[in-house]
Structure 1
Amino acid sequence: MSRTRTRALGAAAAVAALALPAGAAAVTWPTGGQNLDNSRFQPAERTIGPVNAATLAPKWQFATGADTTTGGDVSATPAVDGNTVYFPDSKGKLWALNRSTGAVRWSTAIAPITGFPGDYARATPALAGQTLIIGTQSGKFETPQTDPDVAGSYVLGFDKGTGALLWKTRIDTHFTGIVTQSAQVNGNTAYVGVASNEEAFANAIFAGQPYACCSFRGVMAALDVATGAIKWKTYMTPPDPGYSGGAVWGSTPAIDTKRDAVYVATGNNYSLPEDVLDCVNAATTDTAKRACIPFDDHFDAIVALDLKTGAVKWSYKALASDAWNVDCGLPGFVPGDTNDPSNCPEGQGPDYDFGQAPLLFSATVGGKKVDLVGAGQKSGDFTAVNRDTGAKLWKTNVGPGGLTGGLQWGSATDGRRIYVAESNSTGAQRGWWAALRPSDGQVLWQTNDLGSGLEPYFGVFGYSAQGPVSVANGVVYGCSLSIDGTMVAMDAASGAVKWSKLTGASCLGGAAIADGTVYWGTGYRTFAPLTTAGNTLYAFTPGGS
């Protein structure tokens, strides 16, 4: 829980413009999910719609380096305010550009701040007044030998006008900890989850050394916006030895201020105590398996927490059991490691994380309005539960599941429909985008990924519509990890493709829509090395003007 407070570091930022002027326009895409509902919906958009989406063209484009070896992937949804667009890249830079011209206002490097060479951020920055908040991937650059006084995962606060560092918080102390989630801000508090690299570190091929796995416990935390001080932390697995996982890594937390609740979703267990595994493996029904696992093991779950204290209000677990790590192997890519120690849990699960945070929506069911919270899972299922109790209302299988989806990174809703991206990552056929009816999950339309080439995530799979979707003014935006990196704009009512662009670089980033402009990035090679490299942020407008 250590925290370092620092004054502005002039050397840390290359300032190319003055701070934002007083009276600047309000934030227009302040975090990954756009709003407290995490709906990825821009309600204020009036310029781009189904009628003119076909005219979208680049107004400007910005490369993070001279080429894709010096410039990093842009896989986060950009954050946007009245004057500036903000985003990180995978080479370790955090950028602020003039949103009208693409000119650099400032940039700063992450690694000198955290002290881990190669460190970077990959999530959407969260904007809170003059403060920009973002977590880092420090745990990918640490080992069991890392100094325990500095090991762990970090969240950073910057002055959004200058890029000067305001504070640095070590949010968790496990050496594999990473922050993949975009923070959600409500008042003077930022809410963000912690995931880890330990699931991969369990395999000696990745770790480069024997490692007895696992001990990381997923975390949800609340931080003071002004200072970075930790207000509360809640772990997603029990403290008893043997329990691990429950990472909080997908998209952006959702907040319901009337219910005083923040909603997150979690991943699988990396490990379970031996006696619990024995119980699960001996059980013959899901009911019996669930009885083996304690309530406070919140794996593959949608979890509601108290905004002020972090106490768990309820937890919906999608599976009866799911203990898995990379020591079990990645089919067609990484073999399982049977060396001593063998870390793959006996009776391994399918690795069906909720790979995206929940979104909030309401539906009319039986003539009554019901407030719901829903999320997509790597199983390909989208599940909607009661916002007060966690009781399941419906679950729809959108498509096949797999280690990389299924559904990941972020769904969207405009209140009329829920929009999802189905990766179909383990199939030979392409993925797709779909719309679901909020009241019962019925699939209303489906549009196939338009990618014209293979998506070589692990070198063996087909097309993949894996990135988050966004929606604004009747248009849904999604993109493809295919080798040509197709970006698509679809009619929200029918799924008809109104516009597409072959970027020439695999795309996993989400679109941010603000005042008639779509901001969208390319590249995902840092995580998926066989995909087509990209390092560009685009600004699309009707006619490119």
Structure 2
Amino acid sequence: MKGIRTALATGLVLALVGAAVASAAPDTATTGGGGRGSGDWATWQKDLSGTRHNAAEWRINQRNVGNLELKWAFAYPKTELFVRSQPAIVGGVAYFGGPDGKFYARDARTGAARWTFDLTSVDPGPRTTATWDGPAVAGGKVYFGDTRGYVYALDQRDGRLLWATQVDSHPAAFVTSSPIVFEGRVYVGTSSGENTLGRDYACCTFRGHIDALDANTGALAWRHYTVPQPQAVGTWPSGATRYEPSGGGVWSSPVIDTRTRTLFVGTGQNYTGSAGDFDTMLALDPRSGAVKWRNQVTKADTWRSLCNDPDPEGYCPGLKDGSALDYDIGATPNVFTVGGRTLVGVGQKLGVYHVFDARTGEVVWRRQLGVPLPSGGVSGIQWGSSYDGQRLYIATYFADPGKVFAVDPATGRVLWETPNPADGCTTGGAAGQPNCTLGHGPAVSSSPGVVYEGSNDGKLRAYSASTGRVLWTYDTVRDFTGVNGLPGRGGAISGGGGGAVVSGGMVYVQAGYWPAYPNPDGGHVLLAFGL
């Protein structure tokens, strides 16, 4: 898999920030009715504890999920970027962002237009603008971030801009973390693609951080940086200035445990140096940002994309000591209770799912699920897992093949495991495509009796929650005509900001992520399924 993530990340970042980067110097409670008792799916995490489980979904079950059929498709204009913005479904409306610099509200049943907001109306400039996280809907507002480091609040009814705050002006910063709203504040992390830039770039000056913003004004309440301020420490072999420490991007989305009143979020690796809260589960006070506890799951991890270069000598800080791992915690945590004890679990790109005591950070159990590969960026557990009150559902990415697991939340014992079906790359639109792989990039989702996961092979699948048997498969690598009149084509199921969303007897998913499949005529698509 060598070089896979390098090509992916470098291409995306260069498309986003362009030449400017290469030359730059250094309301109350939950989200808009999306809690456990609601049929809405109002935020990426589904609820404050990050279950990604819709317990109120009664229409779709194990017996009839095989009858799901496409109800409508929305096609994006053709762009160089993939789709990542998982929709929020609230009050019969789907809210989602596109790779085209637009944010959309559409009727959840029919796809009919409600309103559209143009992100480039805020700070027009040369940087490519897209939405790479999933929105949160709360208190009559829709919150989301973009690839320029902005976080927005729009009026839920008409899409009117209420505020926009640039949480990071670094030319390579972007928001992949999906916000969560709690007691009048919006919590969101910031990540970066700075470590994918080339040999002549003065790497690296980005510092990851998690922010608390006032939900009504966008004003910064507090910020926790994951690494110290980078300092110039010499030069790279190219002569470009070398800075360290750097990195620690917050790729994942935060969750909140209301019992211990704790905000949990995971962090990524260092780009240069070795310092700070890299590869760490952070437990923070949501009011002050103070660290309650931290558990660093990797002791050294310094990686940039040049580590996968054919000649990385001198440009890969962790090459000689073996710390060039890229073993981020890119996944969103899950908060759950076992025997009256509140636990928090999270997946890592090492392929390990870690479970900690939510109050103390003490390790309760760990389970190796994925097979670690030379670059963690293409292995392990990528974006998130689901918890239905009985089982944890966890998927692995490149693991020869990737699998979907059901795990006992008390012990980590594997209850069932289902490999990505072997025919994923020999059937449907992915057949014969040399870049097809049997891996799971998206976060897992669930509803009573059913688990949903998409694959790099372009297929969305529904699994039995009790046995892991595949109950339904839909191949998205095909042509569609969008309800907006544009042609579109699916592809790999969206990683990063997306997974399946189950709400009101419908299932929604973005299709058209990496690896890219031929799509000569149109853009990527949001698909909506129903019985």
Q: Which TM-score applies when normalising by structure 2? A: 0.81
- Do residues 300 (structure 1) and 296 (structure 2) align? no
- Do residues 237 (structure 1) and 247 (structure 2) align? no
- 1:415 aligns with 389
Change (3 A) 1:170 1:538: same
Q: C-alpha displacement at 1:361, in angstroms?
A: 0.9
CA contact (8 A) 1:128 1:225 kept: no
CA distance in 1, matches of 2:161, 2:412: 44
Q: Within 5 A, what are the aligned runs for 1:257-336?
A: 257-272=258-273, 297-329=276-308, 334-336=309-311
Deviations 1:277-297 (A, max 9, x none): xxxxxxxxxxxxxxxx6xxx1
Q: Choose from 201, 209, 213 the match for 2:203.
A: 213
CA distance in 2, matches of 1:419, 1:530: 28
What's the secondary structure of 1:403's corresponding residue? helix
CA distance in 2, matches of 1:377, 1:165: 36
- Do residues 430 (structure 1) and 405 (structure 2) align? no
Q: Within 5 A, what are the aligned runs for 1:88-99?
A: 88-99=97-108
CA distance in 2, matches of 1:407, 1:24: 29
- Do residues 492 (structure 1) and 465 (structure 2) align? yes
- 1:507 aligns with 493
Change (3 A) 1:87 1:385: same
What's the secondary structure of 1:374's corresponding residue? strand
- 1:48 aligns with 60
Change (3 A) 1:445 1:27: closer
Q: C-alpha displacement at 1:238, in angstroms?
A: 2.5
Change (3 A) 1:72 1:60: farther
CA distance in 1, matches of 2:79, 2:229: 42
Q: Within 5 A, what are the aligned runs for 1:353-392?
A: 353-364=328-339, 369-392=340-363
CA contact (8 A) 1:249 1:355 kept: yes
Q: Within 5 A, what are the aligned runs for 1:418-497?
A: 418-424=392-398, 429-450=400-421, 452-453=424-425, 462-482=437-457, 485-497=458-470
Amino acid of the residue matched to residue 41 of structure 1? H
- 2:4 aligns with none
What's the secondary structure of 1:43's corresponding residue? coil
Q: C-alpha displacement at 1:38, in angstroms?
A: 0.8
What's the secondary structure of 2:512's corresponding residue? coil
CA distance in 2, matches of 1:435, 1:197: 33
What's the secondary structure of 2:493's corresponding residue? coil
Amino acid of the residue matched to residue 301 of structure 2? D
CA distance in 2, matches of 1:479, 1:317: 30
CA distance in 1, matches of 2:80, 2:525: 9
Change (3 A) 1:238 1:461: farther
Unpaired runs of 5+ residues, structure 2, are 1-31, 232-243, 478-490
CA contact (8 A) 2:76 2:99 kept: no
RMSD: 2.4
> Which shifted more, 382-391 or 530-539?
530-539
CA contact (8 A) 1:300 1:317 kept: yes
- 1:178 aligns with 174
- 2:530 aligns with 541
CA distance in 1, matches of 2:93, 2:278: 38
CA contact (8 A) 2:60 2:505 kept: yes
CA distance in 2, matches of 1:115, 1:180: 21
Amino acid of the residue matched to residue 497 of structure 1? V
- 2:96 aligns with 87
The count of aligned residue pairs is 456
Unpaired runs of 5+ residues, structure 1, are 1-22, 139-152, 205-209, 274-292
Deviations 1:230-262 (A, max 9, x none): 110011112363221111112x21101232210
Amino acid of the residue matched to residue 316 of structure 1? N
CA contact (8 A) 1:63 1:71 kept: no
What's the secondary structure of 1:46's corresponding residue? coil
CA distance in 2, matches of 1:419, 1:396: 13
Q: C-alpha displacement at 1:265, in angstroms?
A: 0.3
Change (3 A) 1:434 1:470: same
Amino acid of the residue matched to residue 509 of structure 2? W
Deviations 1:350-389 (A, max 9, x none): 110011121101123xxxx321101111111101011011
Deviations 1:391-450 (A, max 9, x none): 1111111121232221011111011111111112xx5x3311111110111111111213
- 1:517 aligns with 506
- Do residues 125 (structure 1) and 122 (structure 2) align? no
What's the secondary structure of 1:452's corresponding residue? helix
Q: C-alpha displacement at 1:324, in angstroms?
A: 1.1
Deviations 1:292-324 (A, max 9, x none): x6xxx1111111000101011111111121111
CA distance in 2, matches of 1:114, 1:304: 34
CA contact (8 A) 1:522 1:534 kept: no
CA contact (8 A) 1:212 1:343 kept: no
CA distance in 1, matches of 2:161, 2:499: 26
> Which shifted more, 81-90 or 26-35?
26-35
CA distance in 1, matches of 2:102, 2:331: 24
What's the secondary structure of 2:337's corresponding residue? strand
Amino acid of the residue matched to residue 125 of structure 1? P
CA distance in 1, matches of 2:125, 2:256: 32
What's the secondary structure of 2:513's corresponding residue? coil
Amino acid of the residue matched to residue 516 of structure 1? G
Q: C-alpha displacement at 1:512, in angstroms?
A: 1.0
CA distance in 1, matches of 2:384, 2:41: 15
CA distance in 1, matches of 2:462, 2:56: 18
CA contact (8 A) 1:326 1:336 kept: no
Q: Within 5 A, what are the aligned runs for 1:47-86?
A: 47-65=59-77, 69=78, 73-86=82-95
CA contact (8 A) 1:467 1:480 kept: yes
CA contact (8 A) 2:492 2:516 kept: no
What's the secondary structure of 1:54's corresponding residue? helix
CA distance in 2, matches of 1:360, 1:199: 31
Q: C-alpha displacement at 1:37, in angstroms?
A: 0.4
Change (3 A) 1:266 1:88: same
CA distance in 2, matches of 1:371, 1:71: 43
Q: C-alpha displacement at 1:115, in angstroms?
A: 2.5
Q: Which TM-score applies when normalising by structure 1? A: 0.79
CA distance in 2, matches of 1:133, 1:411: 22
CA distance in 1, matches of 2:195, 2:142: 29
CA contact (8 A) 2:449 2:466 kept: yes
